[in-house]
Chains A and B, each alone.
Chain A
């Protein structure tokens, strides 16, 4: 019964990653199956650092998660090339597919903790999944680095001192859109708007953040209608014509992933953007690359961690080089944020000089670190990194890349402090006590 399952250490990861893209699954799993039978004496000598990576490659989140998986593998491989954390603790990544389902995420979190003894979990994609695993990591005292899932509840309502947020949370993101939109409202005399969002945690939270922030900034602007669609919707025409039917001055979309692509495509073909402005929808580097032909030029979008905004940062330069060498492509927002998470962990470990979870947690607390997005500090009350809250820009054909980016001349980078929950007292009021 006590059979030992194979661990995926970094060289094996190459194969797993490949098999996720390509056809080497049979070979990989056969090899892995064979490994099960081999007792692992060799590993006893070194103390490895075990990392759990929870991201989906099944279901609707797979499209974004891909970048995060690649970045974690690249970053850990680079660290392992130097002998691992502190030069002596090689990192072993235990990857699990969350299927974008909270109960699967919770089970896999339990699995990597109880079976693989991971000390840190990186992930997940979906905010609902992140909240499900927060219950488990808090109880088991495991570090949790959130690098994609960004509902503000993760750091506010559902806060645990073990979670560190490397991604601007949804309230910060919509807050930064509001900064840009408020300008446009003034300029264009807009009065009414409509929202459309994905009916799940992130979509709801993002929309709410936008509506609340806009009410504070521009009280006269009226919300005419809220539309919600089920995750994975394929037919938006009814929603699009419902938006047009409301005749708003602009529409705000809280849409991510594959649905975002479908929505933009269908809205474009239905002429929504000719009639209604659509500022601030999520347009990350993933969208820019995958929809390089179809993305409407001049559309105002929001990115989370676009590489082209930080070309002056040495760490970003380093990562772009690494990513391009391995994958022959530019890193997506999701890749950059995951790289920051791993690199942030390394800096904390270097600072404290050991890999004990509580020590690393203490070192991360309020820490200032180098990231792809410049120097950033964790906020004391909720462990939110104060990286830029949002990048709002206009889709523009760049001579330097085979895909459009945001026009650097007009891109607005909003500081975290401008838009996050104003004071730590406010944050603490939101945070619910844990038993």
Chain B
């Protein structure tokens, strides 16, 4: 039964879909830590906020444009833009005060943001779950059914990964960001304004997260408390891949997603435990992660 191509294909696609949400969330987390040395506990909570905002925009325009895929694209664009702004403001007024402070205090600040933003969502949107409905027809292939939207998700995730890679490898700003991962002092000595880079990277990370929330809206209701479960899995991904490495984050997302997916088939009770065992093994074996730089460790 396990070697049935349909089964393997189904699990693989499920694993890749999980990998994409993990990647889209973790890439921002990884970049933020790699460049700014800030571990943002509230990253998934901001993702959730982005989801709620995108939901509201979708419902608003859906009223007179009809609730369809194009309106979702519009809502994602607007929602992402708003969250980029929110990300910038958070960096500008809160995170910026924390540079040079101790790591635990930075963690605490973002920890506080989880609580505050979570309750603000409750204040604005109430306690009801929010999700949107797009009629998605299942696709029959390899003797099994698949959700065609997963192809959209996998394509989007891969495109974002490729785009980020291109940005970091090929553009001037990307090179500055990468240089900052290795040595902030050196970058700053070259006369580059570090605060601007920081704000940009942070806003970019939040933007990607908000974008992910929008893309996943048709499959995943936004609900209070989801962020708490996701952030820990994101930490796992970032650690396995190595802080600051986009390639590492991508590979780690795929590992975690696929391992999780097949664990469900073989040992359903232990799926999450397996993920944490990988994290522990990686941290002990090479704490800087599979693709991280030892220089930073």
Establish whether A and B are touching in the complex (CB under 8 Å).
Answer: yes
Identify the A interface with B (CB < 8 A): 19-23, 25, 57-60, 62-63, 65-66, 100, 199, 225-230, 232-235, 237-242, 244-246, 258, 261-262, 265-266, 268-272, 274-275, 290-291, 293-294
Q: Find chain B residues with CB under 8 A from A100 CB.
A: 225
Q: With the chains together, A249 CA to B295 CA distance in Å?
A: 56
Mark B125-150 against chain A: 1 for CB-CB distance below 8 A, else 0. 01111010100101110001111011
Task: Give the total of B residues in contact with A, Cβ under 8 Å.
Answer: 52
Q: With the chains together, A314 CA to B124 CA distance in Å?
A: 37
* CB-based contact A258/B223 at 8 Å: yes
A89 to chain B, nearest CB (A): 31
**Secondary structure dominating the interface of A:** helix
A111 to chain B, nearest CB (A): 20
* CB-based contact B268/A228 at 8 Å: yes
* CB-based contact B18/A235 at 8 Å: yes
A186 to chain B, nearest CB (A): 27
Q: Find chain A residues with CB under 8 A from B126 CB.
A: 20-22, 66
Q: Find chain B residues with CB under 8 A from A227 CB.
A: 264, 268
Given the known interface contacts A20-B122, A234-B21, A245-B4, the answer about A258 and B145 at a Cβ–Cβ threshold of 8 Å is no
Given the known interface contacts A65-B127, A237-B18, A261-B129, the answer about A271 and B261 at a Cβ–Cβ threshold of 8 Å is no
Q: With the chains together, A49 CA to B188 CA distance in Å?
A: 68
10 residue pairs from A and B, CB less than 8 Å apart = A23-B124, A57-B127, A62-B122, A237-B14, A237-B17, A240-B14, A269-B136, A269-B219, A274-B145, A291-B133
Q: With the chains together, A25 CA to B146 CA distance in Å?
A: 45
Give which listed residue, A58, A290, A293, contacts B224 with CB less than 8 A: A58
Q: With the chains together, A232 CA to B262 CA distance in Å?
A: 20
* CB-based contact A244/B129 at 8 Å: no
* CB-based contact B127/A242 at 8 Å: no
A16 to chain B, nearest CB (A): 13
Can you name 8 extra interface pairs (CB under 8 A) apart from A230-B229, A271-B140, A274-B138?
A66-B128, A225-B268, A234-B230, A242-B265, A245-B10, A245-B265, A270-B146, A271-B139
Q: Find chain A residues with CB under 8 A from B149 CB.
A: 269
* CB-based contact A234/B127 at 8 Å: no
Q: Which 5 A-B pairs have the closest CB atoms?
A: A271-B138, A271-B145, A241-B10, A237-B14, A238-B14
* CB-based contact A58/B13 at 8 Å: no
Q: Find chain B residues with CB under 8 A from A58 CB.
A: 118, 122, 224-225
Q: With the chains together, A16 CA to B216 CA distance in Å?
A: 33
* CB of B7 within 8 Å of the partner chain: yes
* CB-based contact A245/B11 at 8 Å: yes
* CB-based contact B133/A293 at 8 Å: yes
Q: Find chain B residues with CB under 8 A from A23 CB.
A: 123-124
* CB-based contact A245/B7 at 8 Å: yes
Q: Find chain A residues with CB under 8 A from B261 CB.
A: 237-238, 241
Counting chain B CB atoms within 10 Å of each CB, the highest count among A235, A262, A274 belongs to A235
Nearest residue, chain B, Cβ from A244: B144
Q: With the chains together, A290 CA to B128 CA distance in Å?
A: 9
Q: With the chains together, A234 CA to B228 CA distance in Å?
A: 12
Q: With the chains together, A355 CA to B272 CA distance in Å?
A: 50
CB within 8 Å of A: which B15-63 residues: 15, 17-18, 21
Counting chain A CB atoms within 10 Å of each CB, the highest count among B118, B124, B126 belongs to B126
Nearest residue, chain B, Cβ from A293: B133
B106 to chain A, nearest CB (A): 25
B68 to chain A, nearest CB (A): 13
* CB-based contact B131/A265 at 8 Å: yes
Q: Find chain A residues with CB under 8 A from B230 CB.
A: 234
Q: With the chains together, A22 CA to B127 CA distance in Å?
A: 10
Q: Find chain A residues with CB under 8 A from B13 CB.
A: 237, 241
* CB-based contact B129/A63 at 8 Å: yes
Q: Find chain B residues with CB under 8 A from A229 CB.
A: 268
Q: With the chains together, A233 CA to B219 CA distance in Å?
A: 12
Nearest residue, chain A, Cβ from B148: A269
* CB-based contact A59/B140 at 8 Å: no
Given the known interface contacts A20-B122, A237-B13, A245-B10, the answer about A230 and B272 at a Cβ–Cβ threshold of 8 Å is yes
* CB-based contact B18/A238 at 8 Å: yes
* CB-based contact A234/B138 at 8 Å: no
* CB of B198 within 8 Å of the partner chain: no
* CB-based contact A270/B147 at 8 Å: yes
A156 to chain B, nearest CB (A): 25
Q: Find chain A residues with CB under 8 A from B220 CB.
A: 234-235, 262, 265-266
* CB of B174 within 8 Å of the partner chain: no
* CB-based contact B14/A59 at 8 Å: no
* CB of B6 within 8 Å of the partner chain: yes
Nearest residue, chain B, Cβ from A19: B123
Q: Find chain A residues with CB under 8 A from B262 CB.
A: 238
Q: With the chains together, A100 CA to B224 CA distance in Å?
A: 12
Q: Find chain B residues with CB under 8 A from A60 CB.
A: 223-225
B17 to chain A, nearest CB (A): 5
* CB-based contact B221/A265 at 8 Å: yes
* CB-based contact A232/B128 at 8 Å: no
Given the known interface contacts A23-B124, A290-B128, the answer about A265 and B11 at a Cβ–Cβ threshold of 8 Å is no
